[in-house]
Chains A and B, each alone.
Chain A
């Protein structure tokens, strides 16, 4: 018990060390707004990071532009369009559902629409086959099921196991 308490105390010391050294980050509403837009834009020079996550020169300049435009009263959509006009849809973290991007959004549903009827048809075909087999006396009868269960139970009770 004492051992556990000690471990817990040591753990607590390590946890609190982080808090003690942490810098207090203050974020203004405007900064949040800039980051919200920057999160939707891809950092063009770092492939799979958003502008918000990246600290590259290009990303920082883009954040500065977002900030300036917000200060001038531009809407988020307008700012995003500004970058799309220059860099194309590529600059968007989420591909636009317009243009060729629609395929990305609808493909899963399309696949589902194609596959579901097949699955339904398979299930129906199988249950039909089973019903036929049953009718032909090929399926396992109730008596046989009972006998199978007994055999299985016997095996489970087998001391060798």
Chain B
């Protein structure tokens, strides 16, 4: 008698647990929200792929920082999307690359082969700038507004509509 009552009590608890665990299955454990969203973009200094000294963030203009590398296959999948967006939005948004853990000759060859959408790419052969930004791997993209605050971040390759939606967040342009 009491056993049955306990079972009745236990059933919703187990059901709830089951639902929670089942929902957990569909979540991607490699997708982690960045604590840097809503915070100012960290100050980074270094050289670009041509050896020019460069600093981040670039003030006064919204900025897209795309982490890429020639060894990264997902980056070459994503690249045409970035190239197309840069053609359309480079007036309003500064497209910056962060060449992550790459070799400079490989990186320049990759850009001349697939097109260079970036104003410049920071040479981060060691991955130090990446750690400053909390980068897990390439590709990763940061959306920074004109005040230098990170408004959004994407881990993994961007798709065209997603990229445009996130660009709207930092530009206020809606088209």
Contact = CB atoms under 8 A, between A and B. Distances in A.
Question: Is B one of A's binding partners?
Answer: yes
7 contacts: A44-B32, A47-B30, A58-B130, A61-B127, A84-B35, A85-B35, A88-B33
Contacts of B30: 47
A71 to B, nearest CB: 16
A47 B126 contact: no
Nearest to A129: B2
Interface in B116-140: 126-128, 130-134, 136-137
Interface residues of B, number: 20
Counting contact residues on chain A (CB < 8 A from B), the size range is: 10 to 19
Which of A84, A85, A87, A88 counts the most chain B CB atoms within 10 A? A87
Contact of B126 (A45, A61, A86): A61
Nearest to A87: B134
Given A47-B30, A61-B126, A86 B101 contact: no
Interface of A: 44-45, 47, 57-58, 61-62, 65, 84-88, 90, 122, 125
Nearest to B136: A44
Contacts of A86: 35-36, 42, 131-134
A57 B127 contact: yes
Contacts of A61: 126-128, 131
Interface of B: 2, 29-30, 32-36, 42, 101, 126-128, 130-134, 136-137
Contacts of B36: 85-86
B137 A45 contact: yes
A122 B32 contact: no
B131 A88 contact: no
Nearest to B101: A57
A88 B34 contact: yes
Query: Top 7 closest A-B pairs, CB basis?
Result: A86-B134, A88-B35, A87-B134, A44-B136, A90-B32, A61-B127, A45-B137
A88 B127 contact: no
A129 B64 CA distance: 73
B82 to A, nearest CB: 23
